[in-house]
Amino acid sequence: MKMIVANWKMNGNFNFVNKFVKEINKVNSPYEIIVCPPIALIGEFKDFRYHRGSQNCFYEEKGAFTGETSPQLLKEIGCDYVLLGHSERRSIFHESDDLILKKRNAAIKFNLKPIVCIGEKNKDGWREIVSDQLRLFLDNHMENTIFAYEPVWSIGTGVTPTVEEIEIVFDFINSLTNGKSLLLYGGSVNANNAKQILNSRNVSGLLVGGASLKIDEFTRIIQD
Ligand code: PGA
């Protein structure tokens, strides 16, 4: 089953979640739907028929790590997935591949499915950036790791790669991972381009930012 992951980033509030859950619960989606809201809102998803995810986690179970959230606790509050190494976390919070790897390993240990985000800032040189970001992850956990290819130049810009470009990148990633990991595409996905991207070769799902905050548009994206 292909996946559609909503990344709300630091958006949404209690009122919006209630509307969102009510409307999205009416949709019989053929896809695996995962919504990643700000973690403070997760309790409001108790009647949600689809999956919940977190936008981040720490790599320790508990301890003196002020401001962090443990993967075990995320599991306890109902998350099944966790986004890791989103480009905003890499650039604003200086997350390194080493740190993201530790988080990935902890997520697997506590039974959360990790979605590791990768992608180049500038279109030129994507091969080097993508293979560099993947290097540490080419290990024995690959079957349990989902990768989201999100070219940074496409995030929030309304500009997407062509289907041909996506297929070239995904063929390349698959050649590095030996086809062991599921690959998602993210970056300016909307109701008009979602199906075409979803049907591209080797694409197992979508990571949707801005369009997941518009209930009508997200409904169109997750419908058959
Ligand atoms: P966008 O964001 O869909 O708004 O481009 C995607 C993301 O950052 O995950």
Residue 206: the pLDDT is 98
Cβ–ligand 1 distance for 85 under 6 Å, the answer no
Task: Compute the half-sphere exposure of residue 116: CA atoms within 13 Å on the CB side of its CA.
Answer: 32
Report which residue type is found at 132: D
**Is it the case that residue 136 has pLDDT exceeding 90?**
yes
Neighbouring-strand partners of residue 196: none
Q: How far, in Å, is the centroid of ligand 1 from the Cα of 156?
A: 5
| pLDDT class of 176 with cuts at 50, 70, 90 | very high
| Nearest-CA residue for atom 6 of ligand 1 | 209
Residue 207: the pLDDT is 98
pLDDT (tens digit per residue) in 190-215: 999 999 999 999 999 999 999 999 99
Residues 132, 133, 138, 143, Cα dihedral to 10°: -150
Q: Which residues contact 75 (CB under 8 A, 6 or more apart)?
A: 110, 111, 112
Above pLDDT 90, what percent of the chain? 99
**pTM, entire model:** 0.97
- Could you identify the residue written with the tokens 């992850």? 137
Q: Which residues contact 50 (CB under 8 A, 6 or more apart)?
A: 24, 29, 32, 33, 34, 35
Residue 186: the pLDDT is 98
